[in-house]
Structure 1
């Protein structure tokens, strides 16, 4: 009985080997079509792969997009920083070029003036304006340690600006010509080319918002277009500094003297650098 059961197991094993060999023979080699078991297995595996592949691909693409967004964000951040730095450098370069141009103009002016007078010109930087909008006072970065004294004339390369008003050790305040306060002083003036024939006093007229030269004798030769300069007679402003040009001439009070409206040669706003005039002491 046990011998019969052993023969059956051997027979089943042999049949299994034979079936396996037959299947191997059918599947091995170049065939134009797959058998239905192979097609079933292939379709099932492909379908299962599709179920997992699409979500995996979407997830992978999502994380790739996140990485790309991060990269773009970092690049934009760096570009913005570079652009901001470039803008700052450009502004600084433009400011330096403008400052260099102004210094060249100041240097050229002082070189030209050496041929006309023996004044000393101190270059000062305007550091602030007066908080009082009606005072017309500016502050400069030169003080008594630099030789500044009250009533020294302050000019630009175009013409007279005003005078030094108050002096501390390191800074000074400058009263501009357009200040008509009680402390403002008139300027003894004349006409270039007629220094010995024309005399008058220049003050600021707030109502007309212009400079006015008064006390001009009727016999004085003064015409529209003439250049008004300091005469040096007032003992405050040295002679020969340009004040402005005559724009109109009319009869003064009581019909005894003339007065002339004057367009200032220099502007009084947005001042950056000025020149303080030092007149050598008489020997």
Structure 2
């Protein structure tokens, strides 16, 4: 009886070993399909992983997005600062470029005039402008400390503007040519004028500014004077106030004067008498200290 029991146990063990070897060989061999237990285990595992993976992925993505938003906010802040700095720098650059262009024009003007008439031109900034009809003046930032004296001529790039009528230590007042009127005792002296490239043939006195037409009136032009329309009028330099060669304006019309003994020229001023930022005070040789 005991021997039969031992044989049965040995038989079961042998069968189990054979089944294990067969199963191992079956598992290690190349197969195109999985067995149903393998499919069951794999599907169950995949389903459970899917249940946990998606929520975990959403949560991880949420924290990642929050971190990205913070980074984007910081980057946006930096970009705004850079944009503001760029706008400021661009505005500064444009201002400097415009200022340099103005200085180039000023330098070209002063060199050309200095070479022609041996004058010194001191650049002055306009401080204020008074446009009252009875007091058409402006104030510049040069004064006695800079060598400014009464009756010095002031010009723009375009043409003669006026004369110095009052001087303090640091500023000076310029009486504009729009105040020119020989019948006004407070007016600056009339301007002896001639025509550019006809200096030895033409002469006249610019005596007043017509407030209604905005034109200068040049009288006492001798009969037979070759002055004509579109001629450029410049200062002749006589009289001791206005230097020679200052551009006054352009002749628009020449007509007979009173009694037909002289002619009168209507002159459009070269200077515009507005929107000035910089002007030039003319230092003639005898005035330079």
In the alignment, structure 1 residue 187 sits paired with structure 2 residue 190 = yes
What is the alpha-carbon distance in structure 2 between the residues aligned to residue 84 and residue 94 of structure 1? 15
TM-superposed deviation, 1:64: 1.8
Residue number among 203, 211, 214 corresponding to 1:209 in the alignment:
214
What residue number does 2:50 align with?
46
How does the TM-score come out when normalised to structure 2?
0.72
How does the TM-score come out when normalised to structure 1?
0.73
What residue number does 1:160 align with?
160
Tell me how large the CA RMSD over aligned residues is.
3.3
CA gap 1:208/1:186 in 2 versus in 1, 3 angstroms: farther
- Deviation string 1:256-276 (CA, Å, 9 cap, x unpaired) is 643210122334333313132
What is the alpha-carbon distance in structure 1 between the residues aligned to residue 231 and residue 93 of structure 2? 45
Q: Is the Cα contact below 8 Å between 1:195 and 1:231 reproduced in 2? A: no
What residue number does 1:262 align with?
267
Q: How does 1:122-201 map to 2 (within 5 A)?
A: 122-134=121-133, 135-180=135-180, 182=184, 183-192=186-195, 193=198, 195=200, 198-201=203-206
What is the alpha-carbon distance in structure 1 between the residues aligned to residue 87 and residue 203 of structure 2? 60
- Deviation string 1:189-227 (CA, Å, 9 cap, x unpaired) is 232335576332332111111111124454555332333
Aligned positions, number: 253
Secondary structure of 1:151's counterpart equals coil
Q: Is the Cα contact below 8 Å between 1:109 and 1:157 reproduced in 2? A: no
Residue number among 56, 65, 74 corresponding to 1:70 in the alignment:
74
What is the alpha-carbon distance in structure 2 between the residues aligned to residue 201 and residue 73 of structure 1? 65
Secondary structure of 1:98's counterpart equals helix
Residue number among 227, 231, 239 corresponding to 2:232 in the alignment:
227
What is the alpha-carbon distance in structure 1 between the residues aligned to residue 268 and residue 225 of structure 2? 20
- Deviation string 1:60-94 (CA, Å, 9 cap, x unpaired) is 23432342343234234324423431331243133
TM-superposed deviation, 1:150: 1.2
CA gap 1:108/1:38 in 2 versus in 1, 3 angstroms: same
In the alignment, structure 1 residue 250 sits paired with structure 2 residue 249 = no
Q: Is the Cα contact below 8 Å between 2:128 and 2:140 reproduced in 1? A: no
Residue number among 51, 58, 79 corresponding to 2:62 in the alignment:
58
In the alignment, structure 1 residue 276 sits paired with structure 2 residue 287 = no
Gaps of 5+ in 2: 1-15
What residue number does 1:7 align with?
none
CA gap 1:247/1:89 in 2 versus in 1, 3 angstroms: same
What is the alpha-carbon distance in structure 2 between the residues aligned to residue 188 and residue 113 of structure 1? 18
What is the alpha-carbon distance in structure 1 between the residues aligned to residue 54 and residue 245 of structure 2? 98
Q: Is the Cα contact below 8 Å between 1:126 and 1:138 reproduced in 2? A: no
Secondary structure of 1:53's counterpart equals helix
